[in-house]
Amino acid sequence: MSFFNGWSVGGRPVLAAGEPAAAGTRPDYGDLPEWNLADLYPGMDAPELQRDLEKAEAASVAFSEEWKGKLQIAAGNGQLGQAIVEFETLEELLGRIMAFASLTYAGETANPDKAKFYGDVQQRLTDASSHLLFFALELNRLGEDELDRAYAGDKTLARYRPWVDDLRKEKPFQLDDQIEQLFHEKSLTGRAAFNRLFDETMTALRFEVDGQSLPLEPTLNLLQDHERAKREKGFRALSATFSEHLRTFVLITNTLAKDKEISDRWRGFEDIADSRHLANRVERDVVDALTTAVREAYPRISHRYYAMKAKWLGLDRMEPWDRNAPLPETPNAIIGWDEARNTVLSAYHGFSPDMASIARRFFDQSWIDAPAREGKAPGAFAHPTVPSVHPYVLLNYLGKPRDVMTLAHELGHGVHQVLAAEQGALMSQTPLTLAETASVFGEMLTFRSMLDRTTDRRERKAMLAQKAEDMINTVIRQIAFYTFERAVHAERANGELTSGQIGELWMKVQAESLGPSIHLVEGYETFWAYIPHFVHSPFYVYAYAFGDCLVNSLYAVYQNAEAGFQDKYFEMLRAGGTKHHSELLAPFGLDASDPAFWQKGLGVIEGIIDELESMDG
């Protein structure tokens, strides 16, 4: 686990994003902020950046010369803690450089100079960090007795015990040093290269709608338009362009699935998702229990909701372009940036003034990039960068209610990352399953705050419906995505998959999760192609469902709690990666290994659908 080789980026599940209208017709969102990356480095050509690149390269070599082959001796003479301190300092430096390159690229992925800069920095840091690979491998070769004696005599080492214990979970799956180095160095021409091919291909795609050539995000945004004809045009344009480029996406999928299978086989992972479970520090049976509970809830949640929505829209059944359609009751007014900011900060303040104070810094100190720009990375995320700096948030803000929820979500990540930073570069990173806790909790606070202020019955119905859809998209859809991924990776073990085979797997899983009220027409079989999580982070998606169900249960505890909940909540966030999910949830009386835990979370979604159903009476 390192900021260079595995820093986490919190983001929203990819559903349908937005983009401004055509030039000259863009709504007035107010003064949208753009981030200032100078807290990392002044620019791509900054002498400070060049100095740090050279320093990182030289220091990595020096670290290897000082400690390689000597950790057993260091453990015996009380110097192992000092070695970890030096390693953490290097990881922080590498992470700072990589964060700047990544954010620079994300802000303008279509810019060839920034793409080259990102690639060049990635290459130099991969070369530098190859000198550090020995450290974790050699540390894991120490015996338990040796480590126990070292902890007793080295206070510095004792502080890092959670990190060392966490690292040793990877011991059964690590390979010989030379093989690990080969995997590391070839990653740029293997997995990372296909990741970048996906990103740059997706950024370059154009979709023809009514004579306009649109990028991905404005076309996806049409799927949320009030006019059904526009939604269908957006769907047809998406399907046509995805079909045209399907050979590329099939090649990427086949290559990355095989690449993962090779790595998993060499490392000795039994199940195709076990490497993700290890990275998430969550047990396979916990994820299996979540998956089973959600799939069993499809009829009670998504099938029932979409049947209701079809009726609200006056349809016997919906087409795929109707799934995210706004209800007739949904206000069409644009929400300005100032209103969105105040809404989220007010909701955060109602929970904790300290939480609002941290979130306000993102606005006041230019830590947010909000405008939707040509060539900018789609979607939204919160990047923790490194503990010595601060997180940055990327949005594509379009003034819709869901954009306000996205802002609340990413600021939840940001608050979490600020609080966890005190653990340092090695222990501040939270596994993905728990990394979604603060973000989804921030959304829930904002939603409940907005709902409590709503007195109009039609507006309340629209808000509840939007929340139900967000929860379905976060829980039901993401478990469906996870099921699809498992099917693709399992079938890839038998040979390359054709576009037809992948499309068939996609349609089967979608039919199961969406239910009979949505007619899956021809063309929808290509819609797996644009989901970046499948490419960048295989099996990532179940973390969203984990986080949403967890927060539903956590919020119920908050509603019924006496004083002290906020303190326990902040302690959970401050822990970063130093505790297992069982330790973090215990103070709230929650246990993710208990199958009933997931039923509680799903019950919250059912309760919202129940209320919507009663409003039709």
pLDDT, tens digit (0-9, with 9 covering 90-100), for 20-33: 344 345 678 899 99
Percent over 70 (pLDDT), the chain: 96
pLDDT for position 26: 63
159: helix, coil or strand?
A: helix
Q: Give the model confidence (pLDDT) of 457-505 as tens digits.
A: 888 898 899 999 999 999 999 999 999 999 999 999 999 999 999 999 9
Averaged pLDDT for residues 131-148:
93
> CB neighbours of 141 closer than 8 A, spacing ≥ 6?
none
- Residue range 207-264, pLDDT digits in tens: 999 999 998 888 998 998 989 999 999 999 999 999 999 999 999 999 999 999 999 9
pLDDT number for residue 10: 56
Q: Does residue 13 have a pLDDT over 70?
A: no
pLDDT digits 0-9 by tens, 558-586: 988 878 899 999 999 999 999 988 899 99
**CA–CA dist 341, 36 (Å, integer):** 18
Angstrom distance (rounded) from CA 196 to CA 248: 12
Six-digit token pair at 250? 């099939």
Compute how many other C-beta atoms are within 10 angstroms of the C-beta atom of residue 342: 11
Which pLDDT score, from 0 to 100, does residue 92 have? 97
Rama region for 520: left / alpha / beta (φ>0; ψ in -120 to 50; rest) = beta
Residue 52, both tokens: 């740090």
pLDDT value at residue 9: 52
List phi, psi (to 5°) of 439: -70, -45
Which tokens belong to 576?
């970063």
Q: Are 98 and 105 in contact (CB under 8 A)?
A: no
- Give pTM, 2 decimals: 0.84
d(CA 404, CA 401): 5
The per-residue pLDDT for range 162-196, each reduced to its tens digit, is: 999 999 999 999 888 888 888 888 887 888 899 99
Structure tokens at 362: 């993102």
Whether the pLDDT of residue 3 is over 70: the answer is no
Q: Average per-residue pLDDT in the chain? A: 91
Residue 8 pLDDT: 41
Domains and CATH numbers, the chain: 3-8+24-180 (1.20.140.70)
424's CB contacts (< 8 A; 6+ apart) are: 88, 387
Give, for 209, the enclosing helix (H) or strand (E).
strand 207-209
